[in-house]
Structure 1
Amino acid sequence: MACLITPLSDCAMPTLLQSMFSLLFSAAILLVGHGLQLTTVPLYAIHLGWAPELVGYIGSSYFLGFVLGCLTVPRLVARVGHIRVFTVLIALFTSSLLLMGLVDNFVLWLVARCLIGWGIAGIYMVIESWLNDKTSAEHRGSVLSVYTVISLSAICLGQLLVGFELGFAGLFMLAAALLVLGIVPVGLTRRPAPQPIPAVSFSFTRLFAVSQVAMVGAFFGGLVTGGFWALGPVVANANELSPSQVGVFMAVTILGGTLLQLPVGRLSDRIDRRYVITGLAVVAVLTSIGAILLDSRTPEVIYVTMFLLGGLSFPLYSLCLAHANDNTDLSIMEVGSGVLMMNSVGSILGPLIVSFLLGYTHMALFIVSGVALSVLACWTLYRIRFHDVAREHYEPFVSMRSTTQEMVEMGLESEEPEESSDTKVETINTD
């Protein structure tokens, strides 16, 4: 009866989410296991006595696999379908994780971690393409918001599970069990699979000409966040946090990045996004400098610092993506794929640099963050000084994670006016 007096869109949204329940439930279970293994793997490497440099190589291998997944999985889905690929990727992910728990061989870990990165990239692509395909443009932004909240909450919960006193073998098995259980809801769904995933296609040269700030910002943002995702537990351990505190360390950083996305994005809708990017970078640099000067081993101080650093660095990807799309008529897929790849390249290099510095100081992550975001702030200020932007293709900010280009398309299509792709004319308005 209530639907008779409410807009049709308000009534359709719960029905739409209900129809996607199995997919979202699978994503939640999977990402709890994924969040748990993200922290367990580097902690176990430290337990084995491996040097930070080796842990950094392992982290970079994960992001290399992620890039390869973005490039190759669409073709695999086109050949055998979404559900088969989804099942195979989880099997590969789970077996690689269990092998890492059984064998302490560095070369095997490099290969296994690369396969895990390849697998999670493909899993994200399948989930996000399914959501995108089954959602109308009217509801796409709302579904994206629900998915983002679910995924980040699940990863946060996974971090906190590290505090359970199960031992490393128990944590590996729990993460593997969650990954396998994630197959069940999607495996039992009767709903038809979506259309094939579009392949990644972009030109770095053309995208750099379109928006230098976006590409540089995505790179340095990836450098910082990649160092955190791969080596956050190692950094926490170097700052004398206990295993249970390491989970909190990771969770508060993710929470900071989640909570500040929307207010930062709304601010960037009102003013030149480059000012917002500069402001975030400058405050993050000051936060990093404060952490280095304070050099506190008190957990509460470290938590507050990481909450701020996460809140200031995580939104950079979404801001850079939005800024790039403000200034060009290139396709959503091309812009999104290029910004994502630039972010991923930074994520590959970040763990290598942070791990090298960890051999000399426990403040490595803050040093890398301070230097990287100082360069970003200076470059953005230079571009502001000498290059105006008209934002001729402006669309409101959409908060999203740097997962796959399908997530990018889903977020931006929810705001894009209807337009024939055959009549679009490429325009470039450099920032």
Structure 2
Amino acid sequence: MTNVLASVTALLVSVAILLVGHGLQLTLAPMYADSLGWTAQEIGYTGSAYFGGFVVGCLVVPTLVARVGHIRMFAVLASTATAALLLLGLFESVVIWMIARGMTGLAFAGLYMVIESWLNERTTSQHRATVLSIYVIITLIAICGGQLLVGLQLDFRGLIMLSAILLVVGMIPVGLTRSVAPAPIPAISFKFREVYRASHVAVVGAFVGGLVTAGFWSLGPVVAKGFELDAAGVGVFMASAIFGGAVAQLPLGRLSDRMDRRVVLAAIAMTGMVVNLGAFFLVDASRDLLYIVMFLYGGVTFPIYSLCLAHANDNTDLQLMEIASVILMTQSVGAVVGPLVVAALMAYSSSGLFLFAGVVLAIFTVWTLWRIRAHETERAYFEPYHGVPRTTHAATEIYAPELSDTEM
């Protein structure tokens, strides 16, 4: 295990630094746009552009990596993300921001794919789960830490510079590594019809997950400002949701191993409906209550992706990578749509995020319960739950060889 960790230490250090910078800019961008006097709809456009760029990145980056290799592509993508971030400090145009946010989404989709395929290449089946767990922990801690940097005594342009510095510094450990570049990233094999036919709930659930979580990432800081939180409070508001998602991931996954995963999905959707509709009516809530609500929000929305992936994997003999491609892309489409709808609702209420998420989760709850009653599931291809990060389909490749070894 020591040798395995030593072979990926430089990569994991780069991941930690990069994602602190990324976590900072995820919250900083909508806060800065709000300070410029932009409407929620304009901010929503930039959020949708980010997730649109993410989809494009998942499609085009594997081909680019095959041409130039992981290390060069890592540097190119991190440089692209840095340049896109600096554009936000130079221009106050919605159109330019949409282009910049799209570039950021593309760059980070590519970075996640490079990182995850690299981890897969450097680990054996005996240690894959441990390495992925370390990666997920680093990811969550780094992004949470980035949220809290929003509270530093710097103006918005100063915070942009800090985020850019972190992105640049994050390239250094990988740039200095002497490791041999891993094999090319496998291209996406998109078999939507087969996956949807095998598991309606998994595909629809992934779309719902994209709708509700993207609204949070794109407009959560604006919602927090509506509750009159200062910059530090906004950071804690966002970090509370991320921490909630991290805490709930494994217990919900283990529970779903013991029963119909659709029941678990329906239960967390119902809980999410109650949490969100309750939050919608929190007008004069204390800070502590708001943070608790956001902890619960993250706990019932962030695990949806992994649960849907596990449920789809139970019901088809397709390769895990093929299933993950469909689930990820479906979630990404929802992520493009979500900020636009939330922004439209926020024209009428600053808590439109909670109203939207509550209504969507209510509809998903009713539909899932109907599917449970109308259609039995046999779990013909059951595999235990793995807390796969909601990054790119390449993360599942870390588990794929391990699952194959189990089946032999």
TM-score, normalisation: structure 1: 0.93
Distance 1:110 1:294, change over 3 A: closer
Match in the other structure for 2:338: 350
Corresponding residue number in structure 1 for 2:301: 313
The 8 Å contact of residues 396 and 415 in structure 1, kept in 2 or not, is answered as no
Question: Is the aligned partner of 1:296 residue 2:272?
Answer: no
Alignment check: 8 A CA contact 2:313 2:323 kept: yes
Bigger Cα displacement from structure 2, 42-51 vs 295-304: 295-304
Residue by residue over 1:345-365, the C-alpha shift from the partner in whole angstroms, topping out at 9 and shown as x without a partner, is 111111111111111102211
Check the 8 A contact 1:33/1:176 in 2, yes or no: yes
Letter in 1 for 2:326: G
How far is the alpha carbon of 1:378 from its aligned partner? Answer: 1.2
1:45-86 Cα distance to aligned partner (Å, 9 max, x none) = 011100010000000000000000000000000011111111
Q: What are the Cα deviations for residues 344-397 of structure 1, in whole angstroms up to 9, with x where unaligned? A: 111111111111111110221111111111121111111110111111111111
Match for residue 75 of structure 1?
63
Within 1, Cα distance between the matches of 2:130 and 2:16? Answer: 17
Alignment partner, residue 53 of structure 1? 41
Alpha-carbon separation, structure 1, partners of 2:138 and 2:161: 23
Counterpart of 1:117 in structure 2 is 105
Corresponding residue for 2:167?
A: 179
User: Residue 23 of structure 2: which of 20, 31, 35 is its match?
Assistant: 35
Runs of 4+ in 1 over 6 A off after TM superposition: none
**Counterpart AA for 1:51:** T
| AA of the residue aligned to 2:189 | S
Match of 2:50 in 1: 62
Match of 1:3 in 2: none
CA shift digits 1:182-224 (9 cap, x unpaired): 1100001001011000111112222110110000000001111
2:135 corresponding residue in structure 1: 147
Q: Which of 173-182 and 285-294 deviates more?
A: 285-294
Aligned to 1:226: 214
CA RMSD of aligned residues (A): 1.1
Q: Percent identity?
A: 54
Gaps of 5+ in 1: 1-12, 421-431
For the structure 1 residues 416 and 371, does the alpha-carbon distance in structure 2 shift closer, same or farther, using more than 3 Å as the test?
farther
d(CA) in 1 for partners of 2:282, 2:94: 35
Contact 2:24-2:143 at 8 Å conserved across structures: yes
Please state how far the C-alpha of 1:419 moved relative to its aligned partner. 5.8
Give the alignment of 1:5-404 within 5 angstroms.
Answer: 13-404=1-392
Aligned position for 1:4: none
Letter in 2 for 1:296: D
Shift, 1:333, TM fit: 1.4
Count how many residue pairs are aligned between Structure 1 and Structure 2. Answer: 408
Q: In the TM superposition, what is the alpha-carbon distance from 1:178 to its structure 2 partner?
A: 0.3
**3-state SS of the aligned residue for 1:417?**
helix
